[in-house]
Amino acid sequence: MKRNWNEDELLEHFVVVPIERKLIGNKTGASRLGFAVLLKYFQQEARFPSKKQDIPKVVVEFIAQQLGLSSAIFEEYRWGAGERNFTYHRKQIREFFGFRELTAKDNELLTEWLHGQVQFTHDIDYLKNQSYSLFRKWKVEPPSIGSLNRMIDSAIDTFEKNLYQSTYHLLSPRTCSRLDALLESHVDEQSEEGFEEEFNEKMESDILTFRHLLSSPRKPSVSTMEIEVNKLLAIKHLHIPPGLFHHLTPKLVKKYRLRAATETVTESVHTQHPFAIHYLPSYFRIVMGKSLII
């Protein structure tokens, strides 16, 4: 819920009408104010606040004034799933608006919907707001913010793992072998620091070559031209097939290009994946990096 409300907005959205006063009934004190605040919040947001601080102070004061109560007693309202009155008040409010509690089936439906949406966007705020709209349409009380965030993160994570896997299967054995060599030279350098100086110098050269693949050109010169030509030749040598990412939306391509351009090989390789897919994120970032350069 937004934090700032002017007088006209308060009058439009937070006036306690007679049918709502009837529902409030003979509740008194903090229980009366707490129930009324939850009622009007749910009417506006189609969900309950996670904590008292989620409710703007001006809203509490406006509702308290209508009930002839001090807004200060809202702090006395007992909050939490373990509080019997709080739980009963939520049940009353859900029933009043024709909503029901979340079920496992609802979570499955949302998960299925999210898996469809993440094919097009990974905008967390957008996915969260659209999820809330779905629950409002279904007349279902949504999950907690934490649970919803975890469901969205899981959908994105599943999408990315599938994307890495499908990209990997489109690469030829020759391409994979050359990607392996590029990645393993970096891993070897990280784990064999005690080797003799000339060996380290060779590894350092290979790492710089890899890092330079995604670097911007320097000032125009013959040397710069040679470096850029060598970049293109090195990428061409990988034999990465064209059109690998034509199915991705421009926003997702932008996301992965930025990742490919900013993350190091160490960040990509140091994962907890089984060995069979250990390099898939790194494969993908190199391939996407090739798309970034060409």
Residue pLDDT, tens place only, 45-62: 999 999 999 999 999 999
**Alpha-carbon gap, residue 38 to 55, rounded angstroms:** 9
Q: What is the pLDDT of residue 274?
A: 39
- Residue 140 carries which DSSP code? B
Q: What is the pLDDT of residue 65?
A: 97
Q: What is the pLDDT of residue 154?
A: 97
Residue pLDDT, tens place only, 177-218: 877 776 665 544 444 444 334 334 443 444 445 566 666 778
Confidence bin at 272 (pLDDT 50/70/90): very low
DSSP states along 53-72: GGS-HHHHHHHHHHHT--GG
User: With contact defined as beta carbons under 8 Å apart, do 156 and 289 qualify?
Assistant: no
Q: What is the pLDDT of residue 289?
A: 55
Q: What is the mean pLDDT of residues 21-25?
A: 96
User: With contact defined as beta carbons under 8 Å apart, do 239 and 174 qualify?
Assistant: yes
- Cα dist. 160→17, 135, 280, 284 in Å? 49, 26, 10, 10
**Alpha-carbon gap, residue 11 to 109, rounded angstroms:** 37
**Alpha-carbon gap, residue 266 to 277, rounded angstroms:** 15
**Alpha-carbon gap, residue 167 to 179, rounded angstroms:** 13
Q: How much is the mean pLDDT over the chain?
A: 82
Residue pLDDT, tens place only, 221-269: 888 888 788 777 777 887 888 778 888 899 998 888 777 767 665 555 5
Q: What is the pLDDT of residue 283?
A: 55
- The answer to pTM > 0.85 is no
- Cα dist. 238→22, 103, 126, 241 in Å? 73, 49, 37, 9
Q: Please give the distance of CA 117 from its chain centroid, rounded to a whole number.
A: 12
Q: What is the mean pLDDT of residues 77-100?
A: 94
